[in-house]
Amino acid sequence: MSTLRHSVALMGATGSIGTQTLDVLRREVESFELVSIAGGEQLSELAAIAREFQVARVGVISEEHRNALADLLGPSTEIVVGPEGLAELSRDADIIVNAVMGFAGLPVTLTALESGKRLALANKESLVAAAPLVAKVRATPGSSLVPIDSEHCAIHQCLASSPASPGYPDVSRLLLTASGGPFRGWSKDELLHAQKSDALVHPTWSMGSKITIDSSTLMNKGLEVMEASALFGIEVGRVEVVVHPQSVVHSMVEYVDGSVLAQLSKPDMRLPIAYCLGLPERLGHGWGRLDFSQPIELNFEAPDRAAFPALDLAYEAARLGGAAPAWLSAANEVAVAAFLDDRIGWVDIVAIVATVLDGYEPDPLNSLDDLMANDALARQRAHDILHK
Ligand code: NAD
Ligand code: MG
106 shares a domain with 61: yes
Distance (angstroms) between ligand 2 centre and the Cα of 122 equals 9
304 shares a domain with 325: no
Residue nearest to atom 18 of ligand 1 (CA): 104
pTM beyond 0.95: the answer is: yes
Does the N-terminal peptide bond of residue 83 adopt cis geometry, omega within 30 degrees of 0? no
Last residue of a domain, one of 147, 166, 199: 147
Distance CA 94, CA 113 (A): 11
Q: DSSP string covering 252-268, please?
A: EEEETTS-EEEEE--S-
Distance CA 184, CA 53 (A): 41
Give the model confidence (pLDDT) of 219-256 as tens digits. 999 999 999 999 999 999 999 999 999 999 999 999 99
Distance CA 371, CA 349 (A): 23
Secondary structure of residue 234 in the 3-state scheme: coil
Ligand 1 binding pocket mutation candidate from 36, 49, 125, 207 (most atoms within 8 A of CB): 207
3: confidence class by pLDDT, cuts 50, 70, 90: low
Ligand 1 binding pocket mutation candidate from 36, 211, 218 (most atoms within 8 A of CB): 211
* Residue 126 near ligand 1, beta carbon < 6 Å: no
166 shares a domain with 308: yes
Task: Over range 358-367, report the average pLDDT.
Answer: 95
In a domain, 1, yes or no: no
4: confidence class by pLDDT, cuts 50, 70, 90: low
Ligand 1 atom with the shortest distance to the CA of 209: 2
Q: What is the pLDDT of residue 163?
A: 81
Mean residue pLDDT of the chain comes to: 96
Tell me how crowded residue 7 is: count the other CB atoms within 10 A of its CB: 16
Distance CA 338, CA 194 (A): 15
- CB-based neighbours (< 5 A) of ligand 2, an ion: 149-151
211 shares a domain with 140: no
Last residue of a domain, one of 314, 334, 349: 314
In a domain, 269, yes or no: yes
pLDDT tops 50 at residue 1 = no
Give the helix ranges, DSSP H, for 267-367. 270-278, 310-320, 324-340, 346-358
138 shares a domain with 19: yes
329: confidence class by pLDDT, cuts 50, 70, 90: very high
* Residue 125 near ligand 1, beta carbon < 6 Å: yes
In a domain, 163, yes or no: yes
289 shares a domain with 178: yes
In a domain, 253, yes or no: yes
Instruction: Give the pairing of strands 95-98 and 118-121.
Output: parallel
Handedness of CA 381, 82, 111, 274 (dihedral sign): negative
In a domain, 64, yes or no: yes
Residue nearest to atom 15 of ligand 1 (CA): 40
* Residue 82 near ligand 1, beta carbon < 6 Å: no
Distance CA 36, CA 255 (A): 41
What CATH number is given to the structural domain containing 108? 3.40.50.720
State how many domains the chain has. 3
Task: Over range 88-106, report the average pLDDT.
Answer: 97
What CATH number is given to the structural domain containing 373? 1.10.1740.10
334 shares a domain with 262: no
In a domain, 28, yes or no: yes
352 shares a domain with 203: no
Residue numbers of the domain that contains 353: 321-388
251 shares a domain with 218: yes
Distance CA 85, CA 104 (A): 12
Residue nearest to atom 39 of ligand 1 (CA): 207
Say which amino acid occupies 20: Q
Distance (angstroms) between ligand 1 centre and the Cα of 211 equals 8
Task: Over range 78-91, report the average pLDDT.
Answer: 98
* Residue 345 near ligand 1, beta carbon < 6 Å: no
185 shares a domain with 121: no
132 shares a domain with 257: no
Secondary structure of residue 366 in the 3-state scheme: coil
Last residue of a domain, one of 132, 147, 162: 147
Ligand nearest to the CA of 80: 1
In a domain, 194, yes or no: yes
**192: exposed, middle or buried (C-beta count within 10 Å: 0-12, 13-18, 19+)?**
exposed
Instruction: Output the CA angle 313-192-357, nearest 5 degrees.
Output: 20
Give the model confidence (pLDDT) of 253-285 as tens digits. 999 999 999 999 999 999 999 999 999 999 987
Distances (CA, A) of 289 to 20, 53, 178, 268: 18, 29, 21, 10
284 shares a domain with 183: yes
Give the model confidence (pLDDT) of 8-38 as tens digits. 999 999 999 999 999 999 999 999 999 999 9
Share of the chain above pLDDT 70, in %: 99
| Residues across the chain | 388
In a domain, 11, yes or no: yes
Distance CA 148, CA 253 (A): 17
Distance CA 314, CA 325 (A): 7
Ligand 1 atom with the shortest distance to the CA of 13: 9
Residues 6+ apart with CB under 8 A from 44: 72
